[in-house]
Amino acid sequence: MPAPAHLTDRHPTVSPERLIAQLVPPPTFNDVSFDSYRPDPAEPTQAAAVGFCRRFCEEARKNREGKRKMFGKRETLPGVGLYLDGGFGVGKTHLLASMYYSLAGGSHPAAFATFGELTQLAGVFGFTECIDLLADYVVVCIDEFELDDPGNTTLISRLLSQLVERGVSIAATSNTLPEQLGEGRFAAQDFLREINTLASIFTTVRVEGPDYRHRGLPPAPEPLTDDEVAARAEGVDGATLDGFDELCDHLATMHPSRYLTLIEGVKAVYITGVHPVDDQAVALRLVALTDRLYDAGIPVVASGAKLDTVFSPEMLEGGYRKKYLRATSRLLALTAAGMEL
């Protein structure tokens, strides 16, 4: 078997056409539906959320078709908004993908994107062109909605407001209530108008419950040695093997929108020399990579520090706390899968 490849040897590019083609749910959610969602009987908000999502789809479809006027013409009705707020691993993305599939089969297209992919789409096509591109969609589904900087706040507020006016409905998931977006990350009070505009678009539905990824799972496994990781990587077809610092440096050379292409075709990721990071930029790039790995269902095997210690205590006290906790939750699920290889 050939030696494992290295992610650091890959230098992906993403064309505008590829960005549009990526506006679909990730592979791990290819077959989900409202019927396959299993609400926790102990958490009534989960079953209630399914009902809200179904009604949202009915209203979004009706509003997209518009109101019939004289001579067969139709009047465009504004889109509707649904915002699923909740902790980690309660099935919000499952429900979001179910809304996408419920609406995608009609006469209008549907889009599914992470928040970062949506802002990248606007950056590549331009603000006006991005609106024109999405104006005929029935719904835009946004996973892990979050405001990282003032520029994104203004951009997304204007973008979504204009799409709603054109009849596009918006569904989103997040770990932060709409009116609290941006808190602890920048001077959110200076952008209250934009944040309040965003909040007014949505009906907020809370989804409670424990993280399903950790049900029955042991704590983070003891890390392997560098040699053990390298030996395991050699036994897995389609695996990659990289040093942690080298991988972090490589991630800095490209926009996070390329991370999905970076891991395309990879079956498992092996990393040596993991250690805690205290640089915010490095940590946020690791979060973005973790999200792409999780979406693609790619197991992770690592040596060095335990993966639940990658983000320093200081970072877990800051404005990106929820983002780092989500990434830790996903890393533990991926490493559990990696230990079974």
Of residues 99 and 126, more confidence is placed in: 99
The three state secondary structure string of the chain is CCCCECHHHCCCCCCHHHHHHCCCCCHHHCCCCCCCCCCCCCCHHHHHHHHHHHHHHHHHHHHHHCEECHHHCEECCCCCEEEEEECCCCCHHHHHHHHHHHHHCCCCCEEEEEHHHHHHHHHHHCHHHHHHHHCCCCEEEEECCCCCCHHHHHHHHHHHHHHHHCCCEEEEEECCCHHHCCCCCCCHHHHHHHHHHHHHHCEEEEECCCCHHHCCCCCCCCCECHHHHHHHHHCCCCEEEEEHHHHHHHHCCCCHHHHHHHCCCCCEEEEEEECCECCHHHHHHHHHHHHHHHHHCCCEEEEECCHHHCECCCHHHCCCHHHHHHHHHHHHHHHHHHHCC
pLDDT at 190: 46
Read off the pLDDT band of 114 (50, 70, 90).
Answer: confident
Give tens-digit pLDDT for 53-110. Answer: 999 999 999 999 886 655 556 778 999 999 898 877 789 999 999 999 999 988 899 9
pLDDT at 72: 57
Give tens-digit pLDDT for 251-282. Answer: 999 988 889 899 999 999 999 999 999 898 99
CATH of 213-339, one of 3.30.450, 3.40.50, 2.30.30, 3.30.160: 3.40.50
pLDDT at 73: 67
pLDDT at 193: 55
pLDDT at 182: 45
What percent of the chain is predicted at pLDDT more than 70?
Answer: 85
pLDDT at 325: 85
Lowest mean pLDDT among 154-158, 169-173, 216-220: 216-220
Per-residue pLDDT for 300 more than 70?
yes
Backbone angles phi, psi at 92, to 5 degrees: -65, -45
Token pair 């639940």 is at which residue?
A: 308
Per-residue pLDDT for 246 more than 70?
yes
pLDDT at 67: 65
Domain 31-210 annotated CATH 3.40.50.720: no
Lowest mean pLDDT among 66-70, 81-85, 222-226, 337-341: 66-70
Name residue 74's beta-bridge partners: 68
Do 213-339 and 31-210 have the same topology in CATH?
yes
Give tens-digit pLDDT for 161-216. Answer: 999 999 999 998 886 655 455 444 434 444 345 556 777 888 889 999 876 665 65
Per-residue pLDDT for 337 more than 70?
yes
Average pLDDT of the chain, as a whole number? 86
Q: Where are the domains of the chain?
A: 31-210, 213-339
Token output for 131: 């609106």
Residues 6+ apart with CB under 8 A from 200: none
Lowest mean pLDDT among 157-166, 212-221, 288-297: 212-221
Read off the pLDDT band of 121 (50, 70, 90).
Answer: confident
